[in-house]
Amino acid sequence: MQLTRNALNLMNETYPSPQNAADIFRDTWFSKLPDVGGTALVSGALGLFNDEKVRWAGQQAGGFSGKSILELGPLEGGHSYLLSQLGAKHVLAVEANSRLFLKCLITKQLYNLDRVQFVLGDFIKFMRQTSETFDFCLASGVLYHMANPPELLSLVAKVSNRAMIWTQYYDDSVIRSRMSYLKRLRFRPRSQGSYQDFTYARHERRYGFRLRNLQFIGGTANYSCWMELDDIVAGLKHFGFRTVDINFHDREHVNGPAVCLACSK
């Protein structure tokens, strides 16, 4: 039976609480929201609000205290919250997914993130045009959703001298042994790509039916390109980073091999 449209369905007649705000997206949170005033919130399971990878990257960068940070694809604001907790002076977080952007605004409200600014739009277009630079760039979970990933590497190097990139990457042996046949079919045959005199192996992956799900959290095109790990490191160095440290290397990750890279010039 289809519910009749009624503006009163949007009203909340319960006592005001942080949970009411979280429940606007009830059962769709990916992240576990921290307690508010000692009260636990019903949310997701991922520990992004206290991510050890971000803490490690901060240690590699000499801390985040007093620094300006550009965050790409903040998801639900978990890393933004943590960067603020670790003393960042200002975080500019650019999110293309309007649903996730609204979740970020709820996070900002719940935790009084007055040093975090969430903006809705394409961070690639922003970085192409901006003349602004940042002390640090956080690019977690976005590289493998790019149609042209080397461009993202070049733009990260353009806007900052230090960065953290967490990404999944293509490893043929791991993909073949761990992914189902249907998931492997999403990858097109290997091809060679080139961007600004940097050549690399392209492994294009179609999103397919996943685009029909409002919980989709991929890129802005209907496909993305996964790079191989050696190419990612080589690309970062090609575009200006002298040091690339690797940690949290997880070849057994449920969605494909993953790695965290801390980069500096």
Q: What pLDDT does 255 receive?
A: 85
87 within a domain of the structure (yes/no): yes
260 within a domain of the structure (yes/no): yes
Contact by Cβ (8 Å): 58, 122:
no
Q: Which residues on adjacent β-strands are paired with residue 198?
A: 195
36 within a domain of the structure (yes/no): no
pLDDT tens figures, 189-236: 999 999 999 999 999 999 877 778 778 888 888 999 999 999 999 999
22 within a domain of the structure (yes/no): no
140 within a domain of the structure (yes/no): yes
6 within a domain of the structure (yes/no): no
Q: What residues make up the domain containing 172?
A: 44-264
34 within a domain of the structure (yes/no): no
Q: What percent of the chain has pLDDT over 70?
A: 98
pTM reported for the whole predicted model: 0.94
Below-50 pLDDT ranges, the chain: 1-2
Contacts for 113 with CB less than 8 Å, ≥ 6 apart = 77, 80, 81, 84, 91, 107
Residue found under tokens 């999103």: 207
In CATH, what number is assigned to the domain containing residue 66?
Answer: 3.40.50.150
177 within a domain of the structure (yes/no): yes
Q: How many domains does the chain have?
A: 1
Evaluated on CA atoms 75, 77, 79, 83, the torsion sign reads positive
